[in-house]
Amino acid sequence: MKLIVGLGNPGRIYTESRHNIGFSVIKALSKIYKVPLKKDNAFSLSGKGRIEGESLILALPLTFMNLSGIAVSALIKKHKIDLKDLLVVCDDLDLGFGVIKIRPGGSSGGHRGLGSIIESLGSQEFSRLRIGISRPLQALTDAASFVLSPFTKKEKKEIKEIIETACDCCRTWVRKGITESMNIFNNTPRLSELRRCALSGQGVNR
């Protein structure tokens, strides 16, 4: 059984914020694979389903971002998930807008949601899919305010394809594992080519 968790903040006011792009990916996967998300416990919404014959759980923490570890650790314990079978999807200020990177582990990189999960699990050894939201153009703009703000009108035109690509990456991770996912999705920011390669099961030619 695999577990994919999207990070974000609960509540309507945060729905379209940059910080909630992890939520958006899980909701898209839920729709594609017809996996209804229901209250799992006090800490998360989740649903069980299958991707390409593989069993998995999709989940959204009901805790706020800074307490994501509470929800993830509860899901891990309840469903007896091995850390190698956990994928966390989140935003990343240090990646250009629309660039995605998947890694098998590592530090939080300053992301408080990842930091909370690492602290709760006592380990950095779980996969994470980071989706670039870039940093604010104006140096004086507060990063915390920026991540909680909505995407611009121009950015919104690209969000659908970014989420679709992230879903393809999640699918590849479930079917073929972290190494194949890294080979396909970490080599180029060109979304259309990433989607073509993911769907065909081929690598990216550089």
Strand duo 38-39 + 2-6: pairing: unpaired
19, 111, 130, 171: which one is catalytic?
A: 19
- Of the candidates 61, 91, 84, the one whose C-alpha atom is nearest the C-alpha of residue 173 is 84
In terms of C-beta density within 10 A (0-12 exposed, 13-18 middle, 19 or more buried), how is residue 195 classed? middle
Question: In the Cβ-directed half-sphere of 16, how many Cα atoms lie within 13 Å?
Answer: 8
- Are the C-beta atoms of residues 4 and 29 closer than 8 Å to each other? yes
Is 111 labeled as catalytic in the residue annotation?
no
Active site residues: 19
